[in-house]
Amino acid sequence: MLARTVRHVLQNRSFHTTPICTTFWVKSKKQGYEKEQPLLPTKKMILEGLKDLKDEIIMWKEEVKEKLETDPILIYRPNEIDVYCRFNTREEVEKWIVTSDSDHNEGYSRANFELSTAGYGLFNGIVTANLPKDGRIKKAGYASIRSQRHTKSFRRNTYYDWSTYNTLVLRVRGDGRPYMINIGTEGTFDVTWNDIYHFVLYTRGGPHWQITKIPFSKFILASNGVVQDKQFPIPLNKITSFGFAVSGRGGFDGPFSLEIDYVGLEYDPSNIEEFAYEMYKQEKYIVAT
């Protein structure tokens, strides 16, 4: 009797499926400025994927080789500069992303990043704080360059790990105006996707190069351009991008020019500072009386 009942239930039971939910939040890689791209036919997607497969396998082999050859004892040398990027070729310059307010119809600034006649990276253009007369834009006048997101083989996103360094080293030649150094980090949650650490780079102008060393402990946490009340040190093992920015606000309208030789990293044993700003962190077991 029991077996007949079970068989009857199984014969008359239907499967219920739930439609795929597409209302979950999906990260916007370009912060809302991207345009919808049409989907490629399946056959074309497969063919393009096979074309990239060879290059991805070569990249994967280089990763394995680098991992096997890495000696953690020899990597980090105190007071020696490890170059993160050197702008001495056109290929290196073209890897960087250049943006300005005019790219998003939010202003009239223009920017370029190219190889200078002397053979260095040249970030130049013009910034203006003039607003479009549309009643929508409230702030304008910026331009920036930024490194691309670091990826491994097969398009895997990863981070730059600078955790064994404590100082940023720059060799630049500027025009006398201040620039902003931006270090991007990306946390697990969406509220941290726009976290960027800033520090001002003051250039002296003139024909001479300057070497600037900035401890990472001096960088200030901001999100969407707003300095945060609660400050935290840079998570140096989760760096996603590095770049420079220039503003035309505050009377700095006009042309700009910043020539960059290299961006380097250094471990300075004399710098023992963890973080230069108040983090509003209380010691454990402190009782107010």
Is pLDDT at 281 greater than 70 in this prediction?
no
By three-state DSSP, how is residue 22 classified?
coil
pLDDT for 143-195, tens place per residue?
999 998 877 766 677 788 898 899 999 999 999 999 999 999 877 777 777 88
Q: Which residues contact 180 (CB under 8 A, 6 or more apart)?
A: 198, 199, 200, 201, 244, 245, 246, 247
Q: Which residues contact 164 (CB under 8 A, 6 or more apart)?
A: 75, 76, 267
Q: Are 166 and 268 in contact (CB under 8 A)?
A: yes
CA pair distance 239, 186, nearest whole angstrom: 7
- The pTM for the full model equals 0.74
Q: Where do the domains of the chain lie?
A: 78-266
Dihedral of CA 279/284/286/287: which sign?
positive
- The rounded Cα 101 to chain-centroid distance in angstroms is 18
Is pLDDT at 135 greater than 50 in this prediction?
yes
Q: Are 210 and 171 in contact (CB under 8 A)?
A: yes
Which of 257, 276, 274, 96 lies closest to 176 in space, CA to CA?
257
Is pLDDT at 71 greater than 80 in this prediction?
no
Is pLDDT at 227 greater than 50 in this prediction?
yes
Q: Which residues contact 76 (CB under 8 A, 6 or more apart)?
A: 164, 165, 267
pLDDT band at 70 (very low <50, low <70, confident <90, very high): low
Burial of 268 (0-12, 13-18, 19+ CB in 10 A): middle
CA angle, corner 49, sides to 48 and 54, nearest 5?
Answer: 105
Q: Are 144 and 245 in contact (CB under 8 A)?
A: yes
Domain 78-266: state its class: mainly beta
